Structure 1
Amino acid sequence: MSTADKLPRWYFGGLASAFAACFTHPLDLIKVQLQTRTGQVALLPLAVELVRKNGVLVGLYSGISASLFRQLTYSTIRFAIYDTAKLFMSKDTGLGSKMGVAFMGGALGGFVGTPPDKVNVRMQNDVKLPPEKRLNYKHVIDGFIQVYRTEGWQKLFGGGATASFRAGVMAVGQLTSYDQLKKMCLSSGFFHDNLFTHFTCSMGAAVIATTITQPLDVLKTRIMNAKPGEFKNVGEIVLYTAKEGPLGFFKGYVPAFLRIGPQTILTFVFYERLRMYFGYIPEPK
């Protein structure tokens, strides 16, 4: 049997996503910075400013422990549910069913990953604040403890509904799109199960995922970064964002794509490498 016949282990998606996050975290940090600032700020000058004021590690990698923790929970769950469900699907299973499974897996993973995501956003936003106003979380666990002590455990899951819905949409945009694009490419006869195909399909999935999730990502970031009592509900944040015009919901789109694109590509490249070298051949039914 060829490597194309190998199936992934249930935890490969989480590992691949964590590996990818090590490379894409600076772009994620800059995206958060752009979404939480008022006015127009250019990408490159902002990156230079962060490094100049805080150094490379703090300026570009603040919150990396929370980012890795999130990927090892959120991404492991969504990939595990999607890949496991596919084992019970027939070749004739429709796209709608796959999208439903991807959404369910992504939503569950997104809810579980809300606390580390919240800590991640706060740690990333910390670097732009004056030293006396910073939260100064040492790492993701310290962030959990501080949020619990000062704001209660409910705050750890604040914005969880929005984050969960967004994660479900993201899973559809990434997992289902990649799956369908790869299926179309391989069935065309012009593509093979190799790096070029994985790159091409993941790039297409990244464009789809970024476009359909960016409005939710802007709202999620503002919810998680909001001060206690700043907004009464999600609707108030939607109205606040709408005042900036339709493009307000796509604020930070370029850095979001620059993060989601490499994150998606690297995730599926690592995922496919793990599958091809460490996957397993299913037993005949």
Structure 2
Amino acid sequence: MDDKQLQQMPAWINCVFGGMSGMMAICVVQPADLVKTRMQLAGPTSKKSVLVTASDVLKTEGITGFYVGLSAALFRQATYTTCRLGSFNVIYDFYRSSYGTPGFGMKLVIGMASGGIGAFVGTPAEVALIRMTADGLLPPEQRRNYRHTFDALIRIVHVEGVTTLWRGAGATVTRAMIVNGTQLGTYAQAHEALLPTLGDRFLLHFVAAMISGFVTAFASLPVDIVKTRVQNSPKPTNQIKELMVVIKYEGVTALWKGFIPTYAKIGPHTVLTFIFLEQLNALYFRV
């Protein structure tokens, strides 16, 4: 799609399509995200691998167990991805009209800022998602058994107060800024380096996205595991306390627990989001 077509597309349509493409992509990679969350919350005594964790889910919850919390994951994409894209467009347009076209470094800064804004807006969905995907780790009598995202949000507000919806917001925002900055930077660098060899086609986008996903997963996992522990905690806690607990009782390497399923989510999610977004854009101009 050329720049002229993109300029003709209303900004709000661009934001909606961004959210929709993220929602469609998460339907494919949700099982990897659930396995990652289960591994991060398993605790210091657990030595389960990705395959064992996935096998346990399949054995105790069936194939549908991999999609527990899907409604929250979709709601997160609808809020986080849409707001992130909208914020990026607003900040980018403001900077361009005031100072001219931003350079690569400024694009990274704008990407980090928009990611942080989107993450703050999407934190309630993130809290619901973490709790719903973690439920299977608890004994039956201790499970929260949220029926869907809005049931989770309503019950959290009623039982724990509205501020609980933003528990771990600092870690969520920090992670989003790291993810957006790292993902954009490494994807652009890999794309530029591989373009002469692979040509501007799907294989290039796929390989660049998988390289970006690897670096992003490695850089963001320590913050992600702390965020997960904070948001799943039944009592108020903070990032520093949870970070110290993980290092003290599980070791520094535990900060990268769930690396494989995280990587299995980020790379394909980037590729699929890009594919779905292009198809939605093409459909818009055909209709």
Q: Secondary structure at the match of 1:113?
A: helix
Aligned counterparts of 2:83 and 2:191: Cα–Cα separation in 1: 22
Cα distance per residue 1:180-220 (max 9 Å; x no partner): 5445655x48522x322321222222122212111110100
Match of 1:158 among 163, 167, 170: 167
Correspondence for 2:181: 172
Query: Do residues 49 (structure 1) and 59 (structure 2) align?
Result: no
Match of 2:42 among 32, 37, 42: 37
Mapping for residues 1-285 of structure 1, pairs under 5 Å: 3-5=1-3, 6-7=5-6, 9-38=14-43, 39-57=46-64, 59-86=65-92, 89=96, 93-179=102-188, 181-182=190-191, 188=196, 191-192=199-200, 194-228=201-235, 231=237, 233-243=238-248, 244-278=250-284
Aligned counterparts of 1:30 and 1:224: Cα–Cα separation in 2: 17
Q: Secondary structure at the match of 1:65?
A: helix
The residue identity in structure 1 corresponding to 2:279 is: R
Cα distance per residue 1:205-246 (max 9 Å; x no partner): 2122212111110100010111215x4x32211111122332
Q: Secondary structure at the match of 2:235?
A: coil
Aligned counterparts of 1:279 and 1:145: Cα–Cα separation in 2: 39
Aligned counterparts of 1:184 and 1:84: Cα–Cα separation in 2: 30
The residue identity in structure 1 corresponding to 2:58 is: V
Q: Secondary structure at the match of 1:138?
A: coil
Contact residue 69 and residue 133 of structure 2 kept, 8 A: yes
Contact residue 114 and residue 160 of structure 1 kept, 8 A: yes
> Larger helix proportion, structure 1 or 2?
2
CA-atom RMSD in angstroms:
2.4
Aligned counterparts of 2:210 and 2:36: Cα–Cα separation in 1: 19
User: Runs of 4 or more off by more than 6 Å in structure 1?
Assistant: none
Distance change in 2, residues 1:85/1:198 (3 Å) = farther
The residue identity in structure 2 corresponding to 1:203 is: M
Contact residue 198 and residue 269 of structure 1 kept, 8 A: no
Unmatched 5+ stretches in structure 1: 281-285
Q: Give the number of equivalent residue pairs.
A: 273
Unmatched 5+ stretches in structure 2: none
The residue identity in structure 1 corresponding to 2:156 is: V
Contact residue 162 and residue 220 of structure 1 kept, 8 A: yes
For residue 176 of structure 1, report the CA deviation from its aligned partner: 4.4
Aligned counterparts of 1:279 and 1:91: Cα–Cα separation in 2: 29
Aligned counterparts of 2:90 and 2:191: Cα–Cα separation in 1: 18
For residue 56 of structure 1, report the CA deviation from its aligned partner: 1.6
Distance change in 2, residues 1:15/1:176 (3 Å) = farther
Taking structure 1 as the reference length, what is the TM-score of the superposition?
Answer: 0.87
Aligned counterparts of 2:155 and 2:41: Cα–Cα separation in 1: 22
Aligned counterparts of 1:175 and 1:79: Cα–Cα separation in 2: 13
Contact residue 217 and residue 262 of structure 2 kept, 8 A: yes
Q: Secondary structure at the match of 1:154?
A: helix
For residue 262 of structure 1, report the CA deviation from its aligned partner: 1.6
The residue identity in structure 2 corresponding to 1:255 is: P
Aligned counterparts of 1:50 and 1:76: Cα–Cα separation in 2: 31
Cα distance per residue 1:150-179 (max 9 Å; x no partner): 000011101111101111211122344434
Q: Which is worse superposed, 28-37 or 204-213?
A: 204-213
Distance change in 2, residues 1:245/1:18 (3 Å) = same
Distance change in 2, residues 1:189/1:45 (3 Å) = closer
Distance change in 2, residues 1:85/1:52 (3 Å) = same
Aligned counterparts of 1:170 and 1:110: Cα–Cα separation in 2: 11
